Amino acid sequence: MDLDFGPAEEEFRTEVRAWLRAHVPAEPLPSLETADGFAAHREWERTLGADRMVAVSWPREYGGRGVSLLQWLVFEEEYYAAGAPGRVNQNGTDLLATTLFRHGTPEQLARILPPIAAGEVIWAQAWSEPGAGSDLAGLRSTATRTRGGWLLGGQKTWSSRAPFADRAFGLFRSHPEAGRHRGLTYVMFPLDADGLTVRPIGRLDGKPAFAELFLDEVFVPDEDVIGVAGEGWKAAMSTAGNERGLTLRPPGRFMASVDRLVELWRERADPSDTALRDRLADVWIRCQAYRLKGFETISREDDIGVEASLTKVFWSELDVALHETALDLLGTDGELTSPWLEGYVFSLAGTIYAGTNEIQRNLIAERLLGLPRGAR
């Protein structure tokens, strides 16, 4: 097995590294979970978009560079190694766009993707509801047929990026007579629409990372329905697969973090603390394994399906272990002022969003291992 990169990947790596060296801000941007930080990260997306760096693997007609998925992994490695800002529009680039590529119309691709690639339109995810988080099929918000489109009603909660984003995508029950997984319609809508109220939700540290959405006859035209009305579950599973797989959490993110953790250990650790050293070695090994898994995944032409649940459990628990190791290494001060702190707070959510890890383990047991369905 040849794991070396070819000339095309090395040439692209050199180009990306030079671009990042010239453009990454000298000082970290404010947290994107604040109004000022969100605006700064929105401007960074525009900087990326000006040189087609927002979504490098997209076709050029939609604002990408048309590079291979292997080159995309190279881009992600360089991006995180350079300490570049967090991506404020991952909902748009990694979830909505990947769903549109599979289920959208040519008109939707031409209309929706270029503004994302240019950093002009930021998207929020609007799936979870009170009483329907990981049980997505239990949602109760409605889409009612009207002339030329649909009227949305109900409530969404924990909507990522919604306090400051421009548009959102979500599932609504349009055919209540159908079964739980049927009769759902996947739509896109503006967050400043008539009848829509956005109420921010404070995170553990008080920053408004999420919002509740209250919808009262919010009109959505037919052109903003993704896939077939009433069959939105199929498109939603495409979104969920990308959210749980490596699209949203590429290996480069973890490789860069663990490299910094190794440097931190060299600077701060007590060499006699072999227990902490062993934890560091463990997370380093897990990051290497995740990187190799990334190469294996993109080398396959088929949909990995329920294997995305394996990936989701792996990266979410790795993220927590990595940040806990860093904070334990730093001691009390690290929990007050360290840049690792925000990453730790975010990592805690990783075992919950994209379907809780308990749900993912059920999927792995039943659909991957063929074990009997457990008690509900």
Residues annotated catalytic, as ranges? 243
229-to-144, 159, 216, 311 alpha-carbon distances in Å: 11, 22, 20, 30
DSSP state of 95: I
Report the distance separating Cα 14 and Cα 354, nearest Å: 34
Q: 372: helix, coil or strand?
A: coil
Question: How many other CB atoms sit within 10 Å of the CB of residue 298?
Answer: 15
Report the distance separating Cα 252 and Cα 287, nearest Å: 9
The 8 Å CB, 24+ separation contacts for 321-327 are: 321/279, 321/282, 321/283, 321/286, 322/254, 322/257, 322/258, 322/261, 322/283, 322/287, 322/347, 323/347, 325/261, 325/276, 325/279, 325/280, 325/283, 326/261, 326/264
Give the DSSP H/E element, type plus range, for residue 216. Answer: strand 210-221
Pick from 287, 297, 301, 221: nearest CA to 258: 287
